Amino acid sequence: MNRYSVTGLTTATAATNAVGIATLWNPSTAKSIFIVGIKVYKTIATVDVHALARISVRGTAAATVTPDIDNDYDHGLAPVSGALLDVGAYSGALTALTPSLESIYLPAAIGSGYNIVFPKAIQVKQSAGFGIITGAAVIGQPCNVTFIWDE
């Protein structure tokens, strides 16, 4: 199994509950991926609320980061799944499955954030995603997001 990580910078979202902030999307029709960690650090000093949720419809993000061989910890091969990191304000809404798995309240401080190491990897099946959404009707503030996964 190979381990990968990918990082992206998000933008502010609408002040609406369950709006996409960042999603690791698995476009594969044959392979699951297994998220082992998520890191988030704020780049602006404003309060916001994040929630972690499974995503059933990708939506249209402002930007997509496409991992390649450089994102493999062993520098062995690009992700076979074709996993993608969607970040930025979504012009087409994603569909988050509720209830969310976890909610995280972030203080108004640049550099505040969280580093979650899942004790058991979260499986993301084919043509699905796992992401960070707004956990309340407040603006999701810009932050640096990293997803770490195995496949």
Q: What percent of the chain has pLDDT over 70?
A: 100
Write down the domain spans for the chain. Answer: 3-150
Helices (H) and strands (E) in the chain, counts: 0, 11
Out of 1.10.540, 2.60.120, 1.10.12, 1.10.150, select the CATH number for domain 3-150: 2.60.120
- When pLDDT is cut at 50, 70 and 90, the band that residue 30 belongs to is very high
What pLDDT, on a 0 to 100 scale, did the predictor assign at position 105?
95
Residue 98 has pLDDT above 90, yes or no: no
Closest CA to 48 of 132, 144, 145, 134: 134
- Secondary element (H or E) of residue 109: none
Give the confidence band of 132 by pLDDT, cuts at 50, 70, 90: very high
